[in-house]
Amino acid sequence: MSAFAPLAGAVGVAAHLVTLLATLVQPAVGTAATAAAVVLFTVLVRLLISPLSWAQIRGQQRSAALAPRIRELRRRYADQPDRFRIELVELYRSAGVSPVAGCLPALAQWPFFLVMYQLFAVPGGAGDQSGLLAAELFGVPLGHRVGDGLPGTAGPLFGVLLILLVLLAWWSSRRMRKAVAMPGAAPAEGEAVPGAGLLTRVMPLLPYGTVVVALVVPLAAVLYLVTTTAWTGAEQAVLRRVAGRDRATSPR
């Protein structure tokens, strides 16, 4: 049994949706209609999970607001590290702050990414039946991978997309480093916030994983990765600005 068998129904739905989107945009973009449909599909996915992104930003703000109380706990229980950890966990729990909350938007995308992978990677699957595997972008089939070779326009196309992913990964990593460096967003030296230390070190490296993944997935999935990474950066910038304005104008 295929490891992706449980996704068969979702893949079929995605195939119909991508085909519908391609039909709608075909008069405007011609032979690139299916590639454009993949981009639109990605945008729809991001709109669907946008509440998680907003919850992530609010969670980070609540975490930063806890800084004075954390300092007070550290002072009060300086000689009782076990009690400090217990009180710190209780503080985060009562404030509704979780160290893993920042990962939720990324985790929520994986089922959709797997659907896109299955749609364009499996001959005889839903994508094949819908004719999606025959679709091309600048003469390169959307099911083509870097490992299949880079003849003709495949080399420049994958090259541009990979460069975009590297730049977007750098942008996302820089934004994450700034976020964890905010007062209260990361634990002070020697402070034991369960799981926070590891996440603080690992999260800025996660965006570069998209570049590695792009080397082994079909072109359609690479388009998904580029679109969703760009969306994440823009969305985070907008949400932080809105959240900061709301915080500044809210009554103290």
Give pLDDT tens digits for 142-168. Answer: 989 999 999 999 999 999 999 999 999
The CA distance from 123 to 128, in Å, is 6
Q: Average pLDDT of 77-106?
A: 75
Residue type, 47: L
Of the candidates 211, 233, 116, the residue with the CA atom closest to the CA atom of residue 159: 211
- Percent helix, strand and coil across the chain, each rounded to 5? 75, 0, 20
The CA distance from 241 to 247, in Å, is 10
Of the candidates 124, 101, 137, the residue with the CA atom closest to the CA atom of residue 221: 137
The partner residues of 63 in beta bridges, in order of sequence, read: none
Confidence band, pLDDT 50/70/90 cuts, at residue 20: very high
The CA distance from 128 to 55, in Å, is 38
Residue 70 near residue 88, CB atoms below 8 Å: yes
* pLDDT tens figures, 71-85: 888 888 888 888 888
Residue 64 near residue 183, CB atoms below 8 Å: yes
pLDDT at 191: 44
Mean residue pLDDT of the chain comes to: 79
Q: What is the DSSP letter of 194?
A: T
pLDDT at 238: 80
Residue 236 near residue 53, CB atoms below 8 Å: yes
Residue 59 vs residue 101, higher pLDDT? 59
Residue 78 burial by Cβ neighbours in a 10 Å radius (0-12, 13-18, 19+): exposed
Exposure string for 83-113, b = 16+ CB within 10 A, e = fewer: ebbebbeebbeeeebbbebbebbbebbeebb
Using only C-alpha atoms, the chain has a radius of gyration, in whole angstroms, of 22
User: What angle separates helix 104-121 from helix 33-48, to the nearest 10 degrees?
Assistant: 150
